[in-house]
Chains A and B, each alone.
Chain A
Amino acid sequence: MIAFLARRLVTLLTTLAVAALVIFGVTEVLPGDPAAVMLGLTATPETVAALRAELGLDAPMLVRFLAWIGGFFTGNLGVSYAYRVPVAGLIAERLQVTAPLALLASLFASSIGITLGALAASRANSAVDSLLMAGAQVGLAIPNFWFGILMVLVFAIGLGWFPAGGFPGWESGLLDGLQALFLPALALALPQAAVLARLTRTAVLEALGEDFVRTARAKGLTAAQTLRRHVLRNAMVPVVTMMALQFSFLVTGTIIIENVFALPGLGRLIFQSVGGHDLVTVKSLVMIYVGCVMVVNAIVDMTYGLIDPRLRFGRGVGR
């Protein structure tokens, strides 16, 4: 048991280290001297050299790599070339948009997906079931950014219930903030909800065939009670796993959705910094995104190993 957790932890740390090396290495070999980019075309070689020294760009590569890694623990990730503010502060500020957005989206995805999936399973092979599963198939095919645009068309431009984009900031009130995040979160949630609905249906159908369901009905529980107390609970293991594994799609989904709705979040920041060759910001952001995904996947593997000892030896979940 301990050995399994330790092994998985070592794998995680190794993968994170390799990822950090790759990301750092790639930003190193990229063309363009950041100092020269910052100062523009008219800069003299002397001023460029002075700025390089100021930014710490003339230190040996290994020193800069270790300083960068250390920065994740001390909170000093350097200064953004484009925004001229500390990267850590920039990320913390943008996280105030992206974290609630991702949270709201997973909330929508799980509540919609699990409810509809359970409904479809409880009416298996009925018209309701076929309709719901056809809907899930369509939900999987619709690009989330198009769904976002359609909702803007209907609910922002047509009905005027929500803003078409932008974010007022949390200081203008919780309600205004949530209103600005509602449509983006719904757009982000659509494909996830479709996946979860399909999976929940399968998992519930499987659980419905178990003996304990017959026992529950025999002792006098209604179909609804059995579904809620026994079936759903058993069906939730694969569903929760899938939610965690989909975290990666949710996180990268924010990059496009934040662009659709002009939200000042991490996703938009990463896109803008990549476009502006703001490499200091890019490498830390990419590391954070990749790190989050790797940590979540590792946690899923570990909890699964805790639940089902057979999985402690193979290649892990979902492979």
Chain B
Amino acid sequence: MIHRALRHPSFVVGLAITLMVLLIAILAVFWTPHDPTAIRISARLRPPSATNWLGTDQFGRDVFSMLILGARNALLVGIVAVGIGLSIGVALGMVAATGEGSLLDEGIMRVCDFTFAFPAVLTAILILTFLGPGLVNAIIAIGIFNIPVFARIARGAALQVMARDYIRAARAAGRSTPGILARHVLPNITGILIVQASVQFALAILAEAGLSYLGIGTQPPNPSWGRMLNDSQTFLAQAPTLALFPGAAIALAVLGFNMLGDGLRDVLDPKSLER
């Protein structure tokens, strides 16, 4: 499988981009070329140079330093928001699957259908306005919308696995339902969950960028790609590069996770390659 994966162009490129973003984010924890919050009005709106590789913003802050800290921010959002969706969603989905057709199953799936019908960005805006703007609340708002996605996928996949003979054998051998779920069902649906997690990760980064662009996501002085884009719009004519880099960073990170997801889908499920 690893051999097949390494020959899959989408997987390799996606993995390379994702690893690069991850390394930059880790690097940003320990080192940035300049203090990304240091304001130097005398050096405002400078074009890219040897000291400020990507130039400076309207407060004279170093754009490159803000950009790599933004990577940390984006990954944090992705990890926590997808984590919320995965942990709660998969648990709900597997519980629903074990009681297929029961009132509990119906209840869980109806609530999922209902959440799906609410446009995510709109609801996130509402949640954020009333919980108050900020990174933590943005992550919660994005995470909530990941729950029904994973619940549905986990339920569907778990139902398929539970129809197999080895589940009946395990049951006959006296294993409890939680034991079967943990030992036999979960490992067999991990692949499909990983693929979806990769796609949701990309969507979470896009969502946080959008919310921060609107000014209700990450708050200053914490750098966020979306907020940098919003700031850049005021100085578009004077300093066009300010609008280029944060957007390119978002696009690159999202591209990486999307390609990784596409690649993983092909590698983990070779049947989809035949199309």
A residues whose Cβ falls under 8 Å from a Cβ of B: 15, 18-19, 26, 30, 137-138, 140-143, 145-146, 149-150, 152-153, 157, 164, 202, 205-206, 248-249, 251-253, 255-256, 259-260, 270-271, 274-275, 282, 286, 289-290, 293-294, 297, 315, 319
Q: How far is the CB of A289 from chain B (nearest CB, A)?
A: 6
* Among B113, B114, B130, B255, contact of A138 (Cβ-Cβ < 8 Å): B255
**B20 lies within 8 A of chain A by Cβ:** no
Q: How far is B121's CA from A251's CA once the two chains are assembled, in angstroms?
A: 10
Smallest beta-carbon distance B210→chain A, Å = 5
A157 to B206, CA, bound (A): 26
The interface residues of chain B lying within 8 Å CB-to-CB of A137 are 255, 258-259, 262
User: Are the CB atoms of A140 and B258 closer together than 8 Å?
Assistant: yes
Contact among B130, B209, B229 with A149 in the assembled complex (CB-CB below 8 Å):
B229
Q: Beyond A30-B130, A138-B255, A143-B247, is A293–B119 a contact (Cβ under 8 Å)?
A: yes
Interface size class of B (residues with CB under 8 A): 35 or more
Tell whether B90 is near chain A: CB-to-CB under 8 Å.
no
Q: B233 near A: Cβ within 8 Å? A: yes
A18–B114 CB distance below 8 A: yes
Q: In the complex, are the beta carbons of A141 and B254 less than 8 A apart?
A: yes
Question: A247: shortest Cβ distance to chain B, in Å?
Answer: 10
The residues of A that contact B258 with a CB separation of less than 8 Å are: 137, 140-141
Closest chain-A Cβ to B119's Cβ sits at a distance in Å of: 4
Give the CA-CA distance A253 to B207 in the complex, in Å: 11
Q: Contact between A141 and B119 (Cβ–Cβ < 8 Å)? A: no
11 A-B pairs within 8 Å (CB atoms) are namely A140-B254, A140-B255, A143-B247, A143-B250, A143-B251, A146-B243, A255-B121, A274-B129, A289-B119, A293-B118, A293-B119
Check A286–B251 contact: CB distance below 8 A: no
Indicate if the CB atoms of B122 and A289 lie closer than 8 Å: yes
- Say yes or no: B121 contacts A146, CB within 8 Å: no
CB atoms of A319 and B152 under 8 A apart: yes
The answer to whether A19 touches B129 (Cβ under 8 A) is: no
In the complex, the answer to whether B243 meets A252 with C-beta atoms within 8 Å is no
B214 within 8 A of A: yes
| Complex contacts, A19 vs chain B, CB 8 Å | 114, 117-118
With A141-B255, A271-B214 known as contacts, the answer to whether A157 contacts B117 (CB < 8 A) is no
Chain B 209-237 interface residues, beta-carbon cutoff 8 Å to A: 209-210, 213-214, 226, 229, 232-233, 236-237
Q: Nearest B residue to A256 by beta-carbon distance? A: B210
Q: Within 8 Å of chain A (Cβ to Cβ): is B125?
A: yes
Contact yes or no, B117 A290, CB < 8 A: yes
A248 vs B236: C-alpha distance when bound (angstroms): 30
B247 touches A290 (CB 8 A): no
Is B202 on the interface with A (CB-CB < 8 A)? yes
Q: Which 4 A-B pairs have the closest CB atoms?
A: A146-B247, A141-B255, A141-B254, A252-B119
